[in-house]
Amino acid sequence: MLTPTYYLVLSALVFSIGAVGVLVRRNPLVMFMCVELMLNAVNLTFIGLAWGLNDIGGQVSVFFVMVVAAAEVVVGLAIVVAIMRRRDGATADDLSVLRG
Amino acid sequence: MVDFVYLVPLFPLLGFISLMLVGRRLGEPAAGYLATAACGGAFASTVVTFFGIRGLEEEERQVTKTLFNWVIAGDFGVDVAFLVDPLSVAMMLFVTGIGTLIHLYSVGYMHGDPNFSKFFIYLNMFVFSMLILVLGDNLLLTFLGWEGVGACSYFLVSFWFTEEKNAMAGKKAFVTNRVGDWGFMVATFLAFATIGSIDYLTINGTAAQLSTPVLAALILLLFVGVMGKSAQFPLYLWLPDAMAGPTPVSALIHAATMVTSGVYLLTRVNGLIYEALLHAQWVTNIIAWVGVGTAFFAATIAIAQTDIKKVLAYSTVSQLGYMVLAVGSGVFVAAIFHMITHAFFKALLFLGSGSVIHGMDDDQDMRRYGGLRKLMPITSATFIIGWLAIAGVPPFAGFWSKDEILLSAWDLGGLNGKLLWFFGLITALMTAFYMSRQVFMTFYGDYRFGDPDADEVDEAWAAYLAHAQDAKLEAGTAADDAIEAHTKAVAALETAREAYVDAQIELSQAADEEATVAAQKVVDAKSTAVDKAEAAEEKAQAARDEAGAVAKAASQADADARSEASRRVEPAPGEQLTAGAASEFVPAAVKQRAEHHPHESNWQMTTPLVVLAVLSIFGGLLNLPFTSDLHFLEHWLEPSIVFEHKFAASGLTKWILAIVSIVAGGIGIMGAVMIYLKHNADPKKIEKPILLDAWGYDRAVSAFMGGPGAKMFEGIAWLDANIVDGMVNGTGSFVRGSGSAVRRLQSGLVRSYALGITLGSVALLAWFLVRVAA
């Protein structure tokens, strides 16, 4: 019997992978992908619970998350491209000009 | 017609601005006449305003004319608004009226001054500030005028600033007044904090609801301001020094108008003082005692002054004390009445003294005056009228107003009132005395401007003695020379004798040895030797005689010089100079004075004198005490003054008091007649040096402020710089320090931020779970 619990466990797994990825990787592109993983883990939670609770609201939320994610990728990638134009590489740890 | 009040300050303001722009080009005397016209315009507008106010019903005679909102802060507001009421109109009338006369006088007095137009810039600015002070309907606007007149006073006292003494006097006036201004400002803050408004009508209206401590603090703080501006003890000491300014300034600012603004301020807040009279009489008692104390103290000092303007300065301090006494007694009408009559006669006296000083080649020492009555007929006649007015001789103006003040003090009742009255009475006696002294020294007696005064006689004696000492030394040297010559002559004689004896011995030996060989030769040799010796002796004798004569003459000269010098070593104090003795040694200034011819002043100066003299004679008509119908000033001021004062003293008491004060004035005048006119007593018995020194008060203050006082204030300055500023700066440096410590958290590394966010989210999540579980 398929229950929402499976989805939630999967989603927690995926979210954790994403979070750890953001923290340990230095390549901004990989970090982006990890952020996407985290977002989609959340989406999975929404869908799973919407299905389990029989509530359409969760599914609607997913659209919003996807829209926001798309927008974020646009901006984020634009920044990465801009940085690549000025520097040789784009390692997240090198970009610390905002240091206090 | 009340709207004409806007023109009143506008005229002097326009005069001030146009003189600033073109004053120098207008030059003398046009600039002076322009300033006079500006002040005259203000006077004319005031007269129109006066009739405007008179035309209103008595209850409506307090009109507030608002120009614009000045300060707006929440519920609190201050307007630039004029309070036109009988009190301010009365004050404006004499400020502009006397101001105009003094402007005209100044045209004559400042004749030939290189800064002629600048003087009138200041004068017009002063009149403008004074009118703002008078018209202001709130404490802040009055304060603006208050500071304006203070600044003009500073400029004008040190007008001839190239002399350091004058510059110092201006500085002293300014600094001393700052102490008073502190009181005024704190009083304004207190009124804002407790009443929530600083306009006079509200303050007077809410006086009854104030608690006693607040009421007392308000009045006493304002009174500190009054002590400064109206020259009351202990802050009076700038006023005598302010005489360093040109005499018209002394008359206008330091006698007639500005110094009375303190009394005016107290009358403006008469609602407060009336409330204090009812519920906290100790407050008004302080005012009354400071007033009478100042009056008494200053009068004692005035007795011994030798500078004609210093006498008048201390007299002004004393008369202001009377006004403050009247305020402290709660009789504001008497204070205003005396303020007006005093303005008449004191301006007259000052202008008269200016005319004298002008005629006497800028010499201010009364001891050198005398007998000027015939040389300056107009000045002396008007000055004598001013003297009679201030000395309290009926029916001149001063008598009525001073008597009213003495009556108000008496009317307070009890021992307190009687003591106040007594001191006031003694002050009146002294006033009559020192003013008579001044008049007699200046206008009566012999003309003696060319005679050396006591100091100069001493100076001549000193010069003479120094000269005699020199002569004595010279004679001594001559005698020594002669004695030396004599000694030499005697020695020469001795040598000659020895030569003679030697010659004789030689002769006899020669005779023995070569008697036969050269008998003829012997005879020749003998005669030659004898001739030689005799000639030598003769010569030596002559030299001795001569030396003896020289020595004799020298010792005679020495003895003469010694006896002459010893005769003059201790001249009797004040010994008159006799021809041929020390008279050749009088200072050059005396000779210069002897060649000076005093003259009457020109029409610009004498016209104001005459007008003021007329006012000094008839000023009493403003408020004659006989029937209620004659109380013009009292009825006029009624709408401005909260409380209508009715004297408790009976008619008989009033008559007795009046007669007593006339007698006191008479005694003062008679005393001066005995001493200064008939010379029945030595003036030195009265003019003690300590009085001339103002009881050492001035020096004591200087010594204190130069020594321990300066240290104390340095301590306060240290406290301000380190503790007060330290707290403020400490807050700032704490924020900066903690900021630079926390700054290190901002590493700029995206991943460490992400770690922070993650850890934070986990912590939050854990907290939620624990809460849900609990």
**Residue B682 falls in which region: left (phi positive, over 0), alpha (psi -120 to 50) or beta:** beta
Pairing, β B63-73 against β B76-84: antiparallel
Two structure tokens written together for B240 = 């005598």
Measured between beta carbons, the chain A residues lying within 8 angstroms of B744 are: 100
Looking up tokens 């003309």, which residue turns up?
A: B447
User: Three-state SS for A88?
Assistant: coil
Identity at A97, one-letter amino acid code: V
In DSSP notation, B719-774 reads HIIIIIHHHHHHHHHHHHHHHHHHGGG----HHHHHHHHHHHHHHHHHHHHHHHH-
A23–B755 C-beta distance less than 8 A: yes
For B351-379, write each residue's pLDDT tens digit.
Answer: 999 988 888 877 888 888 877 888 888 88
Measured between beta carbons, the chain B residues lying within 8 angstroms of A95 are: 748, 750
Q: What is the pLDDT of residue B631?
A: 81
> Complex ipTM, two decimals?
0.85
* Cα B417 from Cα B399, distance rounded (Å): 20
Nearest to B428 by CA among B411, B395, B405, B412: B405
Of chain B, the end-to-end C-alpha distance in Å amounts to 86
Q: What is the pLDDT of residue B46?
A: 93
Burial degree of B569 (CB within 10 A; 0-12, 13-18, 19+):
exposed
B758–A99 C-beta distance less than 8 A: no
A100–B744 C-beta distance less than 8 A: yes
Per-residue confidence band for B91, with pLDDT thresholds at 50, 70 and 90: very high
Counting one residue from chain A and one from chain B, the pairs whose CB atoms sit within 8 A come to 33
Q: A72-80: long-range contacts at Cβ-Cβ below 8 A with a sequence spacing of 24 or more?
A: A72/A35, A73/A32, A73/A36, A76/A28, A76/A32, A77/A32, A80/A28, A80/A29, A80/A32
Using the predicted structure, report yes or no on whether residue A44 has a pLDDT greater than 90. yes
* Cα B35 from Cα B14, distance rounded (Å): 9
* Cα B251 from Cα B344, distance rounded (Å): 10
Closest CA in chain A for residue B752: A23
In the CATH scheme, what architecture does the domain A4-91 have?
A: Orthogonal Bundle (1.10)
Looking up tokens 């000492």, which residue turns up?
A: B469
Q: How confident is the prediction for chain A on average, in pLDDT?
A: 88
A53 Cα to chain B: minimum distance (Å) = 21
Burial degree of B211 (CB within 10 A; 0-12, 13-18, 19+):
exposed
Locate the domains of chain A by residue range: 4-91
Angle, vertex CA B216, rays to CA B213 and CA B222, nearest 5: 135
* Cα B204 from Cα B276, distance rounded (Å): 12
Burial degree of B652 (CB within 10 A; 0-12, 13-18, 19+):
exposed
Chain B (721-760) residues lying within 8 Å, Cβ to Cβ, of chain A: 743-751, 754-755, 758
Using the predicted structure, report yes or no on whether residue B711 has a pLDDT greater than 80. yes
Instruction: Provide the total of helices (H) and of strands (E) in chain B, helices listed first.
Output: 29, 2
A100: nearest CB among B745, B755, B758: B745
* Cα B601 from Cα B346, distance rounded (Å): 19
Q: Which residues contact B118 (CB under 8 A, 6 or more apart)?
A: B23
Using the predicted structure, report yes or no on whether residue B579 has a pLDDT greater than 50. no
Per-residue confidence band for B578, with pLDDT thresholds at 50, 70 and 90: low
Residue B307 bridge partners (DSSP): B365
CB B225 within 8 Å of CB B178: no
Using the predicted structure, report yes or no on whether residue B501 has a pLDDT greater than 60. yes
> What average pLDDT does range B578-590 have in this prediction?
66
Per-residue confidence band for B551, with pLDDT thresholds at 50, 70 and 90: confident
Distances (CA, A) of B470 to B58, B232, B467, B550: 83, 53, 5, 20
Per-residue confidence band for B564, with pLDDT thresholds at 50, 70 and 90: low
> What average pLDDT does range A25-49 have in this prediction?
91
For B218-256, write each residue's pLDDT tens digit.
Answer: 999 999 999 999 989 888 888 988 888 898 898 888 888
Percent of chain B whose pLDDT exceeds 70: 96
* Cα B465 from Cα B328, distance rounded (Å): 58
Per-residue confidence band for B66, with pLDDT thresholds at 50, 70 and 90: confident
* Runs of H (alpha helix) within B641-707: 651-672, 689-692, 697-706
CB B48 within 8 Å of CB B6: no
Q: What is the pLDDT of residue B134?
A: 93
Peptide bond into B625 cis (omega under 30): no
Q: What is the pLDDT of residue B566?
A: 60
For B587-614, write each residue's pLDDT tens digit.
Answer: 777 777 777 777 777 888 888 889 989 9
Using the predicted structure, report yes or no on whether residue B571 has a pLDDT greater than 60. no
Q: What is the pLDDT of residue B499?
A: 82
Two structure tokens written together for B358 = 């002008």
Q: What is the pLDDT of residue B626?
A: 78
B748: nearest CB among A22, A31, A96: A96
Alpha-carbon dihedral sign for residues B446, B449, B452, B453:
positive
Per DSSP, B253 falls in state I
A88 touches chain B (CB under 8 A): no
Q: What is the pLDDT of residue B537?
A: 77
Dihedral pair phi/psi, residue B63, rounded to 5°: -110, 130
Nearest to B235 by CA among B706, B715, B708, B705: B705
Measured between beta carbons, the chain A residues lying within 8 angstroms of B755 are: 23
CB A8 within 8 Å of CB A48: yes
> What average pLDDT does range B436-464 have in this prediction?
81
Q: Which residues contact B647 (CB under 8 A, 6 or more apart)?
A: B407, B408, B411, B654
Percent of chain A whose pLDDT exceeds 70: 98
Burial degree of A57 (CB within 10 A; 0-12, 13-18, 19+):
exposed
Of chain A, the end-to-end C-alpha distance in Å amounts to 54
A19–B747 C-beta distance less than 8 A: no
Q: How many Cβ atoms from other residues are within 10 Å of residue B632's Cβ?
A: 12
Q: What is the pLDDT of residue B577?
A: 58
Q: What is the pLDDT of residue B484?
A: 83
B758–A100 C-beta distance less than 8 A: no
* Cα B35 from Cα B122, distance rounded (Å): 10
Nearest to B83 by CA among B69, B97, B67: B67
Per-residue confidence band for B294, with pLDDT thresholds at 50, 70 and 90: very high
Using the predicted structure, report yes or no on whether residue B732 has a pLDDT greater than 70. yes
CA B415 to chain centre: 34
Chain A (4-23) residues lying within 8 Å, Cβ to Cβ, of chain B: 19, 22-23
Q: Which residues contact B292 (CB under 8 A, 6 or more apart)?
A: B321, B322, B325, B409, B420, B423, B424, B427
Measured between beta carbons, the chain B residues lying within 8 angstroms of A91 are: none
Distances (CA, A) of B244 to B153, B346, B639, B663, B697: 11, 17, 40, 36, 19
The C-alpha torsion from B708 through B714 and B719 to B722, rounded to 10°, is -150
Q: How confident is the prediction for chain B on average, in pLDDT?
A: 86
Distances (CA, A) of B444 to B8, B169, B683, B721: 43, 32, 16, 61
For B336-350, write each residue's pLDDT tens digit.
Answer: 999 999 999 999 999
* Cα B87 from Cα B339, distance rounded (Å): 12
Q: What is the pLDDT of residue B190?
A: 93
> Which is more confidently placed, A18 or B495?
A18
* Cα B24 from Cα B30, distance rounded (Å): 10
The domains found in chain B, sorted by start residue, are 1-279 (no CATH), 281-449+602-706 (no CATH), 455-592 (1.10.287.620), 717-773 (no CATH)
Per-residue confidence band for B139, with pLDDT thresholds at 50, 70 and 90: very high
Size of chain A in residues? 100
Measured between beta carbons, the chain A residues lying within 8 angstroms of B760 are: none
Distances (CA, A) of B676 to B159, B443, B444, B540, B684: 35, 11, 9, 71, 11
Two structure tokens written together for B718 = 């240290």
Chain A (24-83) residues lying within 8 Å, Cβ to Cβ, of chain B: 26, 31
User: Three-state SS for A93?
Assistant: helix
B755–A26 C-beta distance less than 8 A: no
CA B770 to chain centre: 86
Burial degree of B307 (CB within 10 A; 0-12, 13-18, 19+):
middle
**Residue B679 falls in which region: left (phi positive, over 0), alpha (psi -120 to 50) or beta:** left
B711 Cα to chain A: minimum distance (Å) = 48
A92–B750 C-beta distance less than 8 A: yes
A99: nearest CB among B747, B751, B754: B747
